[in-house]
Structure 1
């Protein structure tokens, strides 16, 4: 008994030393069962190396190059016979979007077929007159006229062939139906026609965009211009979205000011595009103009309590303890006081011991000091040694902290 009492006093003294003068911050550990862990969507990870100080802040927009967007129109008027796509649909290059019908199409096809037939006859006549001319049977004048007729018809057929190709009309029969096809692969964003409407020349009938080639245009002010160069990395978040970090690289710096502003457009390619990216989204970005990197965590990983800052770290040794260890051996696992507190408070509320078995997750609260903060990340310095590969709570720290406060309020003392 004396040994147990001595060990208990020794543990108490260690806790006092670690917590300093403020005993209210002496709580070391929170235990969650598997259901709580799953429901809370806790994400574990480690530090990220981020450049948070040698950066240039810039705002801008996602932008699509002109060669990756298309308005689909017609060169000859026609009546819309069928529409094969809807807005938002993905189409491949060459896919039929709609069909149009017009008597003019049939006239053009008929002219092509007639010219093709005439050319075959003129070719035979040309070959015959050439032989006769070489043998001096016919005059050169007759041969020259035949050659001229043949060349004219050949040029006419070539012109009709190009017209049918541009209009995507059949060259084998006079069907009077034209297929309107997609000039590039992408998403249909606008459909400006309906069945039976008249497709006018030059008026866009469909609009298609290929968002896979999106880039970012950032506006950099004159004072920061000398720091920005091609090849530098950028990081940005979508201001009105979920703040997911997207990375890119500067590929061009404009050589003139934008409109009347004292800012220059910096163009950057996107290295990890997401499906949620579309043209025209507003972004907040950082351009890395230096090489100094620090250990950083998402801002949500750091919680503030009692005027101090903390993170939570998963204690690997307690991820899957057997049930008897949870109940009967809490003093032997090195975390007896906190665990007893958890058991002591949970019997009253009837929540945590409904499940007779299952994983439990122990999280230790570690005091840290924060530094520079940028784009949802903050520089973090740990004030206590932890394992090099320790799993840090990146998301869900406030949920764990709420359990800590509940534990404090539920039963008074932690021991």
Structure 2
């Protein structure tokens, strides 16, 4: 019995000793791991010093981490389009010959501005008929009043009175018709003119001029096209699988495929109710919040529809540099006056990157930095090159 108790006590002691040993070893291993991680992080921290001339030459731009919606988005493509009411095909209601063209391609014109003149026999005849009708109407109005007075005194016959009344009503209708026809050609003549003015129906830029001086034109023939690019919007093609996430009022960020990569924003205002012919895509329309002056219809765009409110820490792509299979940013550590000029000290800090869209990348800084730290947004590659050049890929520490 005593042997059993002694054996049990011995086993218990060995077990307790083993547990304490494992616990101690785990703590030591954890401390070692933390120390190694810290040493590895510190090993990746490099410092770079630039003098004032180098700083100016690098065109460095400083700033802070931005909040960007780069996560909850739907990525789609589309084009810039003009609504029908922002385009005009200018023609004449009358035939004639072009005598003057007052604009050139690309010129901006205002609504009602004269852009050409036409010599038109039809216009001359229309004015003649208008003036004759106007004078005839004045005569018939006076004659009607005279016949009305005579009829009240029972001097003339009812037939004569009714004939005068009928003639007056017919001439009034004819005069109104001629007035309307003249208003269609933007004219209300006091004397007969051979030249007909062609005016712009909208404000915008001249897009095409398919005629020249001396061209004989027919009524309805296209003379100019005018576009108002300030009303350009986006036509975006959304696939069937993404349609449940798209709603009117959502914000859209986009860049142009083949030109300036700057980001522009828009707001969805309409969603078509049917698929585009031959595709499984639906057309979604978005108003551009601030239309760039250089924007024209037909440009291809890459767009992100923001379907959520989640935002992430992000920096411009050019703020992030790669070295030794890792990614880094530079933070301004100090700037002070020295003999010979100002000196700038930058610290290279490792980051972890996430989603990248529209020129920005999600970042997580892997060591603590002050909230008001000035980060290099542009010029990071210059600093990295200087670091490699002066330190052989390393750096110096204080």
Does TM, normalized by the shorter one, top 0.5?
A: yes
Note closer, same or farther for the CA distance 1:52–1:412 as it changes in structure 2 (3 Å cut).
Answer: closer
Superposed counterparts of 1:11-410, under 5 Å: 20-21=39-40, 25-33=44-52, 36-315=54-333, 317-318=334-335, 321-322=336-337, 326-327=338-339, 357=341, 360-409=343-392
How many residues align? The count is 364
Partner of residue 21, structure 2: none
Aligned equivalents of 2:64 and 2:363: distance in 1?
Answer: 11
Q: Please, which runs of 5 or more residues in structure 2 have no aligned partner?
A: 1-34
Q: Classify 1:158/1:38 alpha carbon distance in 2 versus 1 (closer, same or farther; 3 Å).
A: farther
The one-character-per-residue Cα deviations of 1:103-125 (angstroms, maximum 9, x if unpaired) are: 22111111111111111111111
Quick one: distance in 2 between partners of 1:43 and 1:273? 26
- For 1:20 and 1:237, how far apart are their aligned partners in 2? 42
User: Deviation at 1:168?
Assistant: 2.0
Aligned residues of 1:233 and 1:249 also touching (Cα < 8 A): yes
User: Is the contact made by 1:109 and 1:169 (CA closer than 8 Å) also made in structure 2?
Assistant: no
CA distance in structure 1 between the partners assigned to 2:146 and 2:343 by the alignment:
98
Q: Distance in 1 between matches of 2:160 and 2:99?
A: 50
Compared with structure 1, are the counterparts of its residues 179 and 307 closer, same or farther at alpha carbon in structure 2 (3 Å cutoff)?
same
Please provide the CA RMSD for this pair: 2.4
Q: Specify the SS of the correspondent of 1:20.
A: helix
Instruction: Note the C-alpha offset of 1:45.
Output: 2.7
State the Cα distance separating 1:405 from its structure 2 match. Answer: 2.1
Structure 2 contact 272–283 (Cα < 8 Å) conserved: yes
Normalised TM-score (structure 1): 0.82
Q: CA deviation at 1:203?
A: 2.3
- Corresponding residue of 1:8: none
Shift of the 115–40 alpha-carbon distance from structure 1 to 2, 3 Å rule, reads: farther
Local SS of the residue matching 1:296: strand
Aligned residue in 2 for 1:336: none
Which consecutive residues of structure 1, in runs of 5 or more, have no partner in the other structure? 1-15, 328-355
How far off is 1:65 after superposition? 0.5
TM-score (norm: length of structure 2): 0.85
Moved more, 120-129 or 306-315: 306-315
Q: Distance in 1 between matches of 2:249 and 2:303?
A: 15
